[in-house]
Chain A
Amino acid sequence: MSFASIQFGLFMLVVYPLYLLLPFRWQNWMLLIASYIFYGAWDWRFLLLLWFTTLLDYSVGVLLGRLETPRARRICILASVGANLGVLGFFKYFNFFADSLNTLCSSMGLHLGWTTLSIILPVGVSFYTFGSMSYTISVYQRKMEPSKNLPNLALYVVFFPLLMAGPIERAFNLLPRIEQPRSVTWDGITRGAFLILFGLFKKVAISDGVAASVNAFYGSTGTISGIDVAIATYLFAVQIYCDFSGYSDIARGLSKIMGFDLLTNFNLPYFSVNPSEFWRRWHISLSTWLRDYLYITLGGNRNGTRKTYRNLMTTMVLGGLWHGAAWNFVLWGAYQGAMLCIHRIIVGERKPAAPPRSPGALLVHGIKIALFFQVICYGWLLFRARSFEQIALYTASLFQGGWSDLSVPRPPLSAMIGLALLILYELAQYFTNDAHFYRRLPHPVRGTLYASLLFVLFMGLSNAPAQFIYFQF
């Protein structure tokens, strides 16, 4: 049941009025049941896995609340993290490592005879596992009290707007909101409805629109030219941004209309001028999770320059692997880590420069944004490619020319108009430095903005719907 489907619309037509009508003590039960139905609609068998994760982390939380000695607490949290990562590792990475080990041994003349298993990847497993782990780690770090209410914790793990692709809300942010009555206000409803509209606009009109062109090119086997690689990769940059940030917007919007405030997951990432800024703007819930629970745990930048670089590389490579069990994701993570290290070598500990004000400085800043966008896009090529051979071929094509033979199919009109509208919208956000600038517009202008988004969204309804990219992670 995708957010951008008729089934989900019908689901919300039942869930939301019920949510508004029920008293607080029944709201959470209703949301819990609705979330299980939502998840079960994908594959009911994996509900067992969800229940296992929930029960495990609830028990660990209760235990951590009772244990006093640091050693016992450490053993407890290590067991919890190990079990969570074990579930993730088995379902997501078993075949990948078994395959890789087989290939490695075969290349050395050893035949292990291992076979891979027919394992189906549970949808959203990376997201809810990280969310659930954040609960036990927060209890361990005494940032929050263990939850005494299993249904509330279960709702935190399975809350349907976030279940499939985040944002990865920390337990100490979301759980207190689940445990307390929420305020549903007209203001929240209008803001939430706008986020839902904007998310659907990005997903349906733009992302689904360009997906066909990207898939046709990256799935093709014939001869390719440099211009093909460049255009298809730019389109993928648009696709993945609109797909994932669109999902996050819808998730935030759905939560908002129910009185939950979630963190912003994307903040104009393509306006970054360096990798450090990019990771403060892109998939913020994951990058802060990795920073807090992995990078800092490894020592962060506290143990000298060499270890800082090691920690950065380790964090980003594992972050890459989190996205999927394939070597291109590892390579993408390593590329991001290398960019962060290079950037750190160049600028050191300097604070980010103040935003440019003069026309000349703005022009220079714009050029920096455009240049760094090329660096981001090469990363997307690594991310989207299907094999190392394809990466090598496409990289070579970028330098070998063939800049006149474009064979990438042209995206539909909805994607092109939608992208133009999105760029204008984000430029306004960037220059006003206000994500909610549109709320200050006069009513007729605001009405025209909403109507334009709706109209382009309607145009995009004829695009073939593509699964949200991050569902596979």
Chain B
Amino acid sequence: MHPLSSSTSSSNGPRRSIRGALLRSACWTLLALAIIDAAVGWCFRVPADPRAKAGALEQYFEYGRSIEGKLQRGIGKDDASTDLVALAGWITPDAWNDQPNTPEQPGGTLVSIYGMSFTIHAAYGLKAIDPQYTLRYYGGPAAPANHSYAAYLFDRPRTKAPVVMLGILASSVRAIGTLTGQTWAFESPYAYTYPKFTLRPDGSLEETRPVIASVSELREALARPEQWTRYVGQLRAHDSYYNEFLFRSSPLDHSTVARLLRRGWSQHHNRAVSSRIHDANGFNLDCEEIKVLRAIVTQFAQTARADGRLPILLLVNDQGYGDHLFRALEPVLKQTSVPYVSTHSIAPADDLGNFVADGHFTSAANKRIAKELDQVIKRELK
């Protein structure tokens, strides 16, 4: 049967008119789509100033811009004209400049904390429960455990805290195979970079450092193609979430429809990478990321104890992760006897009442977590 030759239309006339109507419809659809594309792009364009707050709709239609495109918008010519989020999380010597290194109260306890927003919220709760605690904090937005561990290693010779706390966020475990928050958090990429750890055959950790280590280096690289190419090459070779279509900027960034399509593709790509590491039943215990995470926990406990410090883990099981993080780390927690607090039993992830709209814990849940942390610290320091 020849295509469309067996039409019920008996003559060429009606068939031609239907084909003409189809063509007209297609043209009008494309024209309308182009108008919607341009109109939405114009009405909901993000402000040129990286520091200016974009509205929810502006952000929504911006999510699909390429990572390079978002970095070029967010990184200004100096720190003062750079998006505040882009300045966060870099592990540099001056990162701890404004952090205390002695207890604020005589006889008080200095606690060094490495993690992300969940950790700082719990730490604030700790301070609220007992003001004798002094917090020395460093973290990055949604930081994965390799970032927190690298921050700990960086601060290790500097901090005088007798208590060191490492926060691990369940939803960031999938990013252990990355070098930067740019690649795995596509919609709102975090500019900061951090080392990637891999396991050597003897079980120790090997560190791959990113070729860009500070916001000023990132700014410079964005302006110098050869440096940028080197950086992108490193991501392509070592970062588990890197994807050329999502990362590299192109003229498609100017089209709202293309941005929506790229955002859809990013979800597909990220799900494909994440599904190797985690599914509805829990973490894949055989994947490299979990093996590295367990090694990080072991190394953290060993090095802190060797320094005469009390190591504490805060396991944050956020929404969608039940007790998965706890279950993935349970063997290593037993093996190392490292003191820990796991949120799954204090603020269960499947209770919506424990969370605010942006996915963080409510203040009541943070208080409960902080209370548990306080008890663990006091019990272990006795």
- Residues on A with C-beta less than 8 A from B354 are 222
A183 at the binding interface (Cβ < 8 Å) = yes
Which residues of A lie under 8 Å from residue B353 when comparing CB positions?
220, 222-223, 407
Inter-subunit contact A23/B28 (CB<8 Å): no
Interface pair B261/A464, CB less than 8 Å apart: no
Interchain CA distance A450-B31 in the complex, whole Å: 11
| Residue-wise interface mask of B (328-362) relative to A, using a CB-CB cutoff of 8 A (1 in contact, 0 not) | 00000000000000000000101111110100000
- Chain A residues contacting B35 (CB-CB under 8 Å) are 451
A448 cross-chain contacts in B, Cβ below 8 A: 28, 32
A446 to chain B: which residues have CB within 8 Å? 25, 28-29
Say yes or no: A186 contacts B19, CB within 8 Å: yes
Taking a contact as CB atoms under 8 Å apart, the answer to whether B257 and A447 are in contact is no
Q: Select B22's contact among A186, A407, A451, beta carbons within 8 Å.
A: A186
B253-268: CB near A (< 8 Å → 1, else 0) gives 0000100110111111
Interface membership of B6, Cβ < 8 A: yes
57-95 of chain B: CB within 8 A of chain A: 57, 60, 63-64
Give the docked Cα–Cα distance between A455 and B8 (Å): 33
Q: Which chain B residues border A409 with CB–CB below 8 Å?
A: 352, 357
The residues of B that contact A464 with a CB separation of less than 8 Å are: 267, 271
Q: Which of A216, A452, A462 contacts B63 (CB 8 A)?
A: A462
B13 within 8 A of A: no
Q: A183-B6, A186-B4, A186-B22 are contacts. A447–B29 as well, Cβ < 8 Å?
A: yes
Instruction: Please indicate the chain A residues that have their CB under 8 angstroms from the CB of B352 in the complex.
Output: 216-217, 220, 222, 224, 228, 407-409
What distance in Å separates the Cβ of B245 from its nearest Cβ neighbour in chain A?
14
Interface majority SS (helix, strand, loop, mixed), chain A? helix
Could you tell me the distance in whole angstroms from the C-beta of B144 to the nearest C-beta in chain A? 21
* Cα A450 to Cα B36 with chains together (Å): 12
B287 at interface by CB-CB < 8 Å: no
Q: Which residues of A contact B22 (CB under 8 A)?
A: 186, 189-190
Which residues of chain A have C-beta atoms less than 8 A from B271's C-beta? Answer: 464
Give bound CA distance, A279 to B33, whole Å: 38
Chain B residue with Cβ nearest A446: B25
Given contacts A221-B351, A222-B352, A447-B25, contact A455 B33 (CB under 8 A): yes
Given contacts A186-B18, A446-B25, contact A216 B319 (CB under 8 A): yes
Given contacts A220-B350, A409-B352, A452-B36, is CB(A458)–CB(B319) below 8 Å?
A: no
* A451 contacts B348, C-beta separation under 8 Å: no
CB-based nearest A residue for B20: A186
Cβ contacts under 8 Å, A454 to chain B: 29, 33
The answer for the CA separation of A217 and B351 in the assembled complex, in Å, is: 9
A181 in contact (CB, < 8 A): yes
- Please, which residues of chain A bring their CB within 8 A of the CB of B64? 462
Does B305 belong to the interface (CB within 8 Å)?
no
What class of interface size applies to chain A in its complex with B? 35 or more
Residues 27-65 of B, flagged 1 when their CB comes within 8 A of A and 0 if not, give 111111101110010000000000000000100100110
Question: Looking across the interface, which residue of chain B has its beta carbon closest to that of A458?
Answer: B260
B7 and A221 contact, CB distance less than 8 A:
no
CB distance from A226 to the nearest CB of B (A): 14
Q: Contact check: which of B7, B19, B29, B40 meets A183 at CB < 8 Å?
A: B7
Collect the chain A residues with CB atoms within 8 Å of residue B28's CB: 443-444, 446-448, 450
* The one of A21, A187, A217, A461 that contacts B261, using a Cβ cutoff of 8 Å: A461
Chain B: minimal CB distance from A24 (Å): 6
**In the complex, A410 has a CB within 8 A of chain B:** yes
Assuming the contacts A220-B350, A444-B28, A452-B36, asked whether A461 and B18 have C-beta atoms less than 8 A apart, the reply is: no
Residue A47 interfacial (CB < 8 Å): no
A190-B22 Cα distance, complex, nearest whole Å: 7
Q: What 8 pairs across the A-B complex have the smallest Cβ distances?
A: A447-B28, A461-B264, A222-B351, A451-B32, A20-B3, A451-B33, A458-B260, A222-B353
The interface of chain B, by Cβ under 8 A from chain A, is 1, 3-4, 6-9, 15, 18-19, 21-22, 24-25, 27-33, 35-37, 40, 57, 60, 63-64, 257, 260-261, 263-268, 271, 319, 348, 350-355, 357
A-B contacts besides A220-B351, A451-B35, 4 pairs, CB < 8 Å: A443-B21, A443-B28, A458-B264, A462-B267
**A interface, CB within 8 angstroms of B:** 6, 20-24, 27, 181-187, 189-190, 216-217, 219-224, 228, 407-410, 413, 443-444, 446-448, 450-452, 454-455, 458-459, 461-464
